């Protein structure tokens, strides 16, 4: 049950969400709700071909169509030096195609008209003459010597984007050479899409009188977007105001800058009018940042009893036509090298090859700390393969291999320093709560009757909170984050942060942190994010980084205010500063509990009665550069039953025990876990974006890219352990992604466990019923 916002000491309580009254009454304000006077609408013309030379573009008829104000092509942008834009992964991407197109649905022209309908109609009148070219959709074929070179703008003779390595190759090889047991498994993480309910969109509003551009955009990182826009357009950064209003879901989809954004800005600059562009669902699914698409091979070297020695991983990363992955600069494959997971490997060696294909660009961190989901899925899947090979129960195998509590801070063989964890405790709680032993007994009985029941475990480690400035930057901008707090004379607070939530509840949780530190209630604190003219600079919300970075900034900023408050309290109490104590609610004179002043008294005094020589006012700004990332973990267990007639998998139970350190708001954390598990469930059982040989995208909207309904979604059970982060100001670790990161392996492990008596060792996601049905048929289980 949610508690009232007026309670003092709110940290750790399920305070009701401040943002809900507006959301549940339909009063949120999203991009498409904003209508400006004289606003025009933009529609993009897109390529029907996955690879084709552009022979000519005829825009004359479209220009004559009713209401049309402007048509922009790649050649027009080239004349402004804007035909290409930088991606966050140090690549460049076409804004509007010049010369050729590289994927189906690529942006070719932009039509701006008085109404949305007029823009859509006129877009049909832009005639593009294409000459089809050979298409490459398979990343393995893209690496073959005779494959057509897709990116003619790059001076290279192959479609390889990058080769990246982590760990010690020689030491790993040595352990493999002498290992009693070696298991190997190919694992594919399909191409999926974050699919927020609200697609991408923006309004560019250039004011010809002031020279200021106001850019309303559904953005997870408004400050970073402003900097990129300034660099791309040449407009001075202080003349750009980015406003990210309520965001209808992001999940990583709203981190990159998309061609439509640049076109809307160019159109507004040219026409001196506001220009709105809102994607359709199909445009969102087919052209904006996809996620995953990793083809991985993992090998584990182990002792005969299943104790692991070394891990070797080779991966082909399909990035599509441009590497538009949203990774920190030094990490072309994100934080994938966390792939040794929760286990005490002596050595590991990880390689990733990034490859161009004729598909939409991306590689975004879909509810994932930059490729951690792929890593967690791979290691959790392959640990099960090992368990089966050595004949050890998968729970027992994990226990044998866990990094022990006393090993923290733990240095992994690929270079990460895990801050804290207690894997044994978390798994023990999960096993007890789900009734593991009874379930195994039930399974044995069912197997004897020929029924198919499976139990799948995933004991994953996450790495979130990018990040410490010594290692993490995006396009050179360091990844710390910020908070600014102003306490007004009546003790009411406005706090502004550099991150931008998309439904995670920051207006409540960050208010809780600040209220806790200042002796106020959540009701006294308003949290604002998403306006670059008012909020301090920050890198935004994705990769579960808000709590580890901005959450830390909020606590330390409030403590900065408390330091000054203490001086004012001493003045009001007429004692020395060293004699003032704060009990979380009020300041009192040591030994004289009856003489107290509250933050409200102090706030008033800060503007009316400060000690002599003190600067009036009560506000502070804090840029928090975290010393390390945080390492949440979890133990997830899925129980499934498989229908032998149809191959349908029923998730009968799913338990998620998470450890995200200190919990700010248990109800919000539970909500985050429910949402992430539902996404993980969809990835495991329903979602993939396939292409045919001609590069036609075969999942273009929610008719064939499936999104689970309430009816499809299993009932989630949750619990938690608490291992505080030793370096975070309040001990909190991120949590938003853990369920998406940890759950796919639990689902797949459960299905494989159910089918193990048939000799099945692995099934690639998504586990559609027909895939299971085919296996059952092949083994004569069903007709
Ligand atoms: O960056 P993002 O907000 O997506 O992820 P997060 O930092 O994991 O936070 C998601 C939500 O859960 C926020 O409202 C957090 O403040 C809240 N949270 C919490 O209450 N306790 C934690 N230990 C971690 C997150």
Helix-helix angle 222-233:259-271, to 10 degrees: 60
pLDDT of 633 reads: 98
pLDDT band at 326 (very low <50, low <70, confident <90, very high): confident
368 is a catalytic site residue? yes
Task: Give pairs for 403-406: CB < 8 Å, separation 24+.
Answer: 403/342, 403/343, 403/344, 404/344
Q: What is the pLDDT of residues 409-421, one digit of tens each?
A: 999 999 999 999 9
- CB 724, CB 661: distance < 8 Å: yes
pLDDT of 594 reads: 84
Rounded to whole angstroms, the Cα distance separating 411 from 418 reads: 6
737 is a catalytic site residue? yes
Rounded to whole angstroms, the Cα distance separating 286 from 271 reads: 29
Nearest CA to ligand 1 atom 5: 544
CB within 8 Å of 244: residues ≥ 6 apart: 216, 217, 218, 219, 220, 222, 500, 529, 530, 531
Mean pLDDT of 100-121: 98
- According to DSSP, the β-strands at 308-320 and 347-356 are parallel
**CA 690 from centre of chain:** 22
pLDDT band at 165 (very low <50, low <70, confident <90, very high): very high
Query: Within a 13 Å sphere around the CA of 484, how many CA atoms are in the beta-carbon half?
Result: 12
Q: What are the structure tokens assigned to 4, written together?
A: 């009232």
Which ranges constitute the DSSP H helices of 95-159? 116-123, 139-142
Nearest CA to ligand 1 atom 19: 664
**What number of residues does the chain have?**
783
- CB 326, CB 106: distance < 8 Å: no
pLDDT band at 6 (very low <50, low <70, confident <90, very high): confident
pLDDT of 70 reads: 98
DSSP 537: P
What pTM, to 2 d.p., does this model score?
Answer: 0.97
Rounded to whole angstroms, the Cα distance separating 181 from 566 reads: 63
Which residues contact ligand 1 via a Cβ below 6 A?
501, 504-506, 509, 541, 544-547, 551, 660-665, 668-669, 672, 732-736
Query: Phi, psi at residue 266, to the nearest 5°?
Result: -60, -45
What is the CA(544)–ligand 1 centre distance, in A?
Answer: 7
pLDDT of 5 reads: 83
pLDDT of 28 reads: 96
What is the CA(376)–ligand 1 centre distance, in A?
Answer: 20
* Strand stretches in 439-548, DSSP E: 452-458, 473-474, 477-478, 481-487, 493-497, 525-529
Mean pLDDT of 95-123: 98
Q: What is the pLDDT of residues 599-634, one digit of tens each?
A: 999 999 999 999 999 999 999 999 999 999 999 999
Q: What are the structure tokens assigned to 729, written together?
A: 């100001």
Using the atom order of ligand 1, give the atom closest to the CA of residue 501: 3
Q: What are the structure tokens assigned to 778, written together?
A: 């092949």
Rounded to whole angstroms, the Cα distance separating 431 from 635 reads: 9
451 has a pLDDT exceeding 80: yes
pLDDT of 783 reads: 73
What is the CA(501)–ligand 1 centre distance, in A?
Answer: 10
pLDDT of 730 reads: 98
154 is a catalytic site residue? no
507 is a catalytic site residue? no
pLDDT band at 85 (very low <50, low <70, confident <90, very high): very high
Using the atom order of ligand 1, give the atom closest to the CA of residue 660: 23
Nearest CA to ligand 1 atom 16: 509
Helix-helix angle 436-448:423-434, to 10 degrees: 50
Q: What is the pLDDT of residues 185-208, one digit of tens each?
A: 999 999 999 999 999 999 999 999
- CB 565, CB 605: distance < 8 Å: no
What is the CA(547)–ligand 1 centre distance, in A?
Answer: 5
Using the atom order of ligand 1, give the atom closest to the CA of residue 662: 23
CB count within 10 Å of CB 66 equals 11
pLDDT band at 694 (very low <50, low <70, confident <90, very high): very high
Q: What whole-number percentage of the chain has pLDDT above 70?
A: 100
Look up the ipTM and state it: 0.99
- CB 40, CB 118: distance < 8 Å: no
DSSP 716: P
Mean pLDDT of 221-248: 94
SS3 sequence of 633-696: EEEEEEEEEECCCCCCEEEEEEEEEEECECCCCHHHHHHHHHHHHHHHHHHHHCCCCCECCCCC
Nearest CA to ligand 1 atom 24: 734
């Amino acid at each position: 049950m949610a508690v009232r916002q007026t309670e003092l000491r709110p940290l750790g309580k399920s305070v009701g969400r401040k943002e809900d009254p507006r959301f549940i009454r339909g009063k949120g304000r999203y991009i498409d709700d904003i209508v400006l006077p004289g606003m025009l609408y933009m529609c993009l013309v897109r390529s029907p071909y996955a690879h084709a030379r552009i022979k000519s573009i005829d825009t004359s008829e479209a220009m004559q169509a009713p209401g049309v104000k402007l048509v922009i092509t790649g050649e027009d942008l080239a004349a402004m030096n804007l035909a290409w834009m930088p991606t966050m992964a140090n690549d460049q991407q076409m804004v509007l195609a010049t010369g050729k197109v590289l994927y189906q649905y690529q942006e070719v022209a932009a039509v701006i008209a008085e109404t949305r309908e007029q823009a859509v109609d006129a877009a049909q009148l832009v005639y593009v003459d294409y000459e089809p070219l050979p298409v490459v959709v398979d990343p393995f074929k893209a690496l073959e010597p005779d494959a057509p070179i897709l990116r003619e703008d790059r001076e290279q003779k192959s479609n390889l984007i990058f080769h990246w390595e982590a760990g010690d190759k020689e030491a790993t090889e040595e352990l493999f050479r002498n290992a009693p047991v070696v298991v190997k498994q190919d694992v594919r993480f399909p191409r999926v899409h974050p699919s927020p309910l609200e697609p991408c969109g923006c309004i560019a509003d250039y004011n010809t009188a002031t020279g200021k551009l106001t850019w309303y955009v559904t953005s997870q990182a408004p400050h970073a977007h402003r900097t990129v826009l300034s660099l791309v357009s040449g407009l001075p950064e202080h003349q750009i105001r980015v406003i990210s209003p309520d965001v209808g879901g992001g999940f990583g989809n709203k981190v990159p800058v998309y061609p439509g954004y640049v076109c809307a800005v160019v159109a507004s600059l040219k026409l001196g009018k506001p220009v709105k562009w809102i994607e359709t669902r199909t445009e969102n699914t087919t052209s904006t940042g996809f996620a995953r698409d990793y083809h991985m091979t993992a090998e584990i070297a182990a002792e005969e009893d299943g104790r692991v020695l070394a891990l070797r991983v080779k991966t082909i990363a399909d990035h599509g036509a441009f590497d538009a992955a949203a990774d920190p600069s030094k990490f072309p494959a994100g934080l994938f090298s966390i792939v040794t997971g929760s286990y005490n490997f002596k050595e590991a060696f990880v390689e990733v090859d990034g490859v161009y294909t004729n598909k939409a660009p991306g590689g975004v961190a879909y509810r994932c700390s930059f490729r951690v989901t792929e890593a967690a899925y791979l290691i959790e899947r392959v640990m099960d393969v090992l368990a089966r090979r050595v004949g050890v129960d998968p729970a027992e195998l994990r226990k044998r291999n866990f990094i022990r509590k006393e090993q923290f801070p733990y240095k992994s063989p690929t270079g990460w320093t895990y801050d804290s964890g207690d894997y044994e405790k978390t798994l023990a709680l999960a096993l007890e709560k789900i009734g593991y032993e009874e379930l195994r007994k039930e399974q044995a009985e069912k197997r004897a009757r020929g029924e198919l029941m499976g139990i799948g475990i995933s004991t994953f480690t996450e790495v979130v909170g990018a990040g410490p400035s010594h290692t993490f930057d995006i396009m050179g901008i360091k990844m710390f984050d910020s908070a600014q707090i102003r306490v007004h004379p009546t003790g009411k607070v406005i706090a502004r942060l550099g991150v931008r939530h998309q439904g995670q509840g920051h207006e409540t949780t960050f208010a809780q942190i600040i209220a806790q530190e200042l002796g106020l209630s959540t009701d006294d604190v308003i949290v604002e994010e998403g306006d670059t003219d008012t909020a301090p600079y920050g890198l935004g919300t994705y990769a579960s980084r808000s709590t580890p970075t901005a959450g830390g900034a909020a606590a330390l900023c409030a403590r900065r205010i408390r330091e000054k408050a203490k001086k004012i309290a001493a003045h009001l109490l007429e004692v020395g500063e060293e004699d003032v104590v704060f009990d979380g609610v009020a300041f009192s004179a040591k030994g004289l509990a009856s003489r107290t002043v509250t933050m409200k008294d102090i706030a008033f005094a800060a503007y009316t009665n400060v000690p002599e020589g003190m600067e009036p006012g009560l506000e502070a700004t804090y840029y928090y550069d975290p010393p390390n990332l945080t390492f949440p973990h979890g133990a997830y267990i899925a129980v499934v039953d498989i229908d032998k007639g149809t191959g349908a998998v029923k998730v009968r139970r799913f338990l998620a025990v998470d450890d995200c350190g200190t919990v700010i708001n248990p109800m919000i954390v539970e909500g985050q876990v429910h949402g992430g598990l539902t996404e993980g469930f969809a990835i495991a059982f329903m979602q993939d974006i396939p292409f045919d040989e001609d590069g036609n995208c075969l999942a273009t909207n929610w008719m064939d890219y499936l999104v689970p309904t309430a009816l499809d979604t299993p009932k989630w059970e949750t619990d938690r352990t608490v291992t505080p982060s030793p370096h975070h100001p309040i001990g909190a670790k991120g949590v938003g992604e853990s369920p998406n990161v940890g759950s796919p392996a639990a689902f797949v492990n459960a299905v494989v466990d159910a089918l193990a008596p048939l000799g099945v060792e692995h099934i690639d996601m998504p586990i559609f019923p027909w895939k299971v049905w085919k296996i059952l048929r092949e083994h004569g289980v069903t007709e």
